[in-house]
Amino acid sequence: MKDKLLFEQRKNSIRDMIYDPDYIPLKLKEMAYLMDVPHKDRGALKEVMDALVRDGSVELTAKGKYIKPENHNVTGVFTANARGFGFVTVEGEEEDIFIPATQVNGALHKDIVKVKVTKRSGREGKRREGMVLKILERGCKTLVGTFQKNTSFGFVLPDDRHYDKDIFISKKHMSGAKDGDKVVVRLTDFGGERKKPEGAVIEILGPMDDPATDVTSIIRAYGIEQEFPKSVMKEAQSVPQEISEQPGGKRVDFRNLLTVTIDGEDARDLDDAITLSKKDEKYYLGVHIADVAHYVKEDSPLDKEALERATSVYLADRVIPMLPRELSNGICSLNAGTDRLAMSCMMTFDVNGNVLDHTITESVICVDERMSYTGVKAILEGQEHPEGEREDIRALCFLMKEAAAILKEKRRKRGAIDFDFPESKIIVDDKGYPIDIHPYERNVATDIIEDFMLLANETVAEDYFWQEIPFLYRTHEIPDSDKIKKLDTFIHNFGYYMKTGRENFHPKEIQKLLFSLEGEPEEPLISRLALRSMKQAKYTMLNVGHFGLSTQYYTHFTSPIRRYPDLQIHRIIKENIHGKLNQKRLEHYEAILPSVAQQSSTMERRAQDAEREVDKLKKVEYMQQYLGETFTGVISGVTSWGFFVELDNTIEGMVSINSLLDDFYVFDEESYKLTGEHTGRIFTLGQKVEIVVRSADKMERTIDFVLKEFSQHADYPDPDDYYGDGIPGDSLAEEDSEFDETGSSLPDKDGILLNDWIDDEEADRLLHLYSKKKIDEI
């Protein structure tokens, strides 16, 4: 992994040199001389140059000189749409390039392509257009899908709907796959405009109607490894399960402090603990984080595997950890009654939430009480609970509530944004079938932990920023001004306003908008469009601040068991504490941190995409048992082809405009509603409706509803088509699976996550539409 990171770093450095305005075209030999590359290493330099030419970043002239490509040609990643067209994302550019279906020229989803820009961005929200000139590198060489067998051949229908073509499988390449099997197929021929791709089945995952197989298919499709290599497991199993270091020197003994962990009931990887006291109107907060870096040494098999994964993946029916459970659930878990090594951020803050003093140190702690969110909530509500038997524990809970409220109020005053989208809690049985789905309940206890973790992350980030030590920051850039102006124009249609004229748009404007929307029918739509108007948070070496949290300093320090950036900065902090950050080590971190940041950001996106895909699948599976049944829901989105209805359990389905049989309905984009031409009947945001579940398609991951009054005219699939051996959950009734450790993980603390309700394409369409209009017209 480190070799790969070094290779990418060299590519980036040489690309920057060639793109410099003062660069003069050079041959390989001249470049090697200029860069002082020894003769024995010129083969490695040529590999880097070949890679740059291959991916289109650099061109090689007829005279053998390396130059920057012509300006009208760009290189990027192709994102395909099932309708044939696509978009190319160019690194470092905000705007994608639209590729019409006639100009795709054989490119498939995720391919790296060279594109000629044929139309530049213009007014009225029109984006750039282009044509694919060359496919530089195939993005996917294997796909996951459903095998369909014919007499002498077969096809694989890709699960990823970005692929609009089936994969042809010859008889000799079926590998024993049966009709309806989920399979992994290796592409042997990528096809063309009039030719289907061809492939060979290399792995059979199992029957498509097995819920565990479905999730495994998604895991494989995203390239997520479930099993750890033998070398990694061997190292993990050799780690002692008792601490090998005692207090003294730089490691401080905090075992005398009343210490608690607060997590979900089923959590096993407890990586944060809290101490708190108050004296003379000052709060003394300790956030103690498992010292994972003590056990995971740099460049060890454990470390390389952790960087490769970069994050734990929390799916509805399983957790795929970043570190083996021997560490995450063992010596690194801050279990009650056992001494544990920790990294502690000890902070003193006043009644206004201002941090007056802090220290960051290695420590030894011993947790007094392993508490749960429900237990803390019960104590704070005055209920009897086993976790509140000790008077000092009860008093600590109320003090934590008091301190957390101060910190939350300070964030509110400075403009921190809180996107409070309803999240789903999915309960599965031992076979993986969803037996219950309901809104994830955030309560005062989850908020307490979030408030304390946020403060620790900010404090550590500010400390190391001013020390000017190479570091990783969790950054969230200011939104693109064009997107904010489009959002502002859009919300005027509903009577809302933001101050967008200032040079630096302030997060308070989004905060005030969300506050104004609370309880209004248009809240779900505008909130999601506001989220889509912002950039994604990511990891960077350069500290540009965190727009969503309205803070100049932020990092991820609090979860080294499940996030690699946290582990990486713990390593830097420990070296700094022990005075080992000499010039050589500083240069080392300057060299590797950009690649670590990129890898961590990329793997985080992958995990989020996989998690959302599994959630969609489980929601479809859950609703298959309710075909033909009636529910009451609220219209949460309106489009020209129908409207979305959200049920109390957070599940959304689509009511097609074609199923509204009493009139011809027209979509009014000004008022965002459907209106019947003859009856004047209206369907609009926030309206309650009675629906019947019409279909739930696992292949498409879609749920279709029909209004109850028209349900007698709808066709319904037979539930037995989905469940051959009965409805899921029958054998276990309401019993949760042993898995539920996924539910114990709080959402990411910085709160900027993509929500899948409305995709980028639809958000752009709406915002582009309204950006054409003048305010006085609306």
485 occurs within a structural domain: no
740 occurs within a structural domain: yes
Do the Cβ atoms of 424 and 650 come closer than 8 Å?
yes
Question: Residue 202 corresponds to which amino acid?
Answer: I
774 occurs within a structural domain: no
Res 730 pLDDT > 60 = no
Label residue 722 by pLDDT band (50, 70, 90): very low
Label residue 187 by pLDDT band (50, 70, 90): very high
771 occurs within a structural domain: no
172 and 276: one domain? no
Can you tell me the mean pLDDT for 289-303? 97
Tally of structural domains, the chain: 5
652 occurs within a structural domain: yes
For 467-517, what is each residue's pLDDT tens digit?
A: 999 999 999 998 888 888 888 888 888 888 898 876 678 899 999 998 888
Q: What percent of the chain has pLDDT over 90?
A: 57
Burial of 9 (0-12, 13-18, 19+ CB in 10 A): middle
C-alpha span between 457 and 548 (Å, rounded)? 14
Res 770 pLDDT > 70 = no
User: What was the pLDDT predicted at 559?
Assistant: 97
146 and 186: one domain? yes
Give Cβ neighbours of residue 61 (< 8 Å, ≥ 6 apart). Answer: 25, 67
C-alpha span between 210 and 207 (Å, rounded)? 6
- More confidently predicted of 515 and 746: 515
- More confidently predicted of 748 and 155: 155
User: What was the pLDDT predicted at 756?
Assistant: 46
378 occurs within a structural domain: yes
Listed residues 43, 67, 91: the one ending a domain: 67
Listed residues 137, 154, 177: the one ending a domain: 137
Q: Which of 373, 358, 321, 385 is nearest to 464 (CA)?
A: 358
For 191-201, what is each residue's pLDDT tens digit?
A: 877 788 999 99
Do the Cβ atoms of 57 and 89 come closer than 8 Å?
no
235 and 322: one domain? yes
* Residues written for the chain: 778
Res 244 pLDDT > 80 = no
Do the Cβ atoms of 167 and 186 come closer than 8 Å?
no
- More confidently predicted of 237 and 36: 237
- The parent domain of residue 22 ranges over 2-67
509 occurs within a structural domain: no
14 and 27: one domain? yes
For 643-687, what is each residue's pLDDT tens digit?
A: 999 999 999 999 999 999 999 999 987 778 999 999 999 999 889
Res 762 pLDDT > 60 = no
Q: What percent of the chain has pLDDT over 70?
A: 89
Res 748 pLDDT > 60 = no
For 430-450, what is each residue's pLDDT tens digit?
A: 888 999 999 888 889 999 999
User: What was the pLDDT predicted at 2?
Assistant: 61
Question: Residue 161's domain is classified under what CATH number?
Answer: 2.40.50.700
User: What was the pLDDT predicted at 9?
Assistant: 82
Label residue 768 by pLDDT band (50, 70, 90): low
Burial of 763 (0-12, 13-18, 19+ CB in 10 A): buried
Can you tell me the mean pLDDT for 170-190? 92
545 occurs within a structural domain: no
Question: Residue 107's domain is classified under what CATH number?
Answer: 2.40.50.140
295 and 243: one domain? yes
Query: What's the whole-number average pLDDT of the chain?
Result: 87
Question: Residue 169 corresponds to which amino acid?
Answer: I
User: What was the pLDDT predicted at 763?
Assistant: 60
User: What was the pLDDT predicted at 717?
Assistant: 59
H or E element: which one contains 118?
Answer: strand 112-119
C-alpha span between 442 and 373 (Å, rounded)? 9
For 316-375, what is each residue's pLDDT tens digit?
A: 989 999 999 999 999 999 999 999 999 999 999 999 999 999 999 999 999 999 999 999
318 and 353: one domain? yes
Secondary structure class of 440 (helix, strand, coil): coil
312 and 389: one domain? yes
Res 121 pLDDT > 70 = no
302 and 449: one domain? yes
721 and 704: one domain? yes
Listed residues 97, 122, 137: the one ending a domain: 137
287 and 350: one domain? yes
Radius of gyration of the chain measured on its C-alpha atoms: 28
353 and 291: one domain? yes
Angle between helices 760-771 and 481-492 (to 10 degrees): 70
Res 727 pLDDT > 70 = no
User: What was the pLDDT predicted at 74?
Assistant: 84
**Tell me, what DSSP letter sits at residue 668?**
E
Label residue 416 by pLDDT band (50, 70, 90): very high
H or E element: which one contains 214?
Answer: helix 211-221
Res 564 pLDDT > 80 = yes
635 and 665: one domain? yes
User: What was the pLDDT predicted at 500?
Assistant: 82
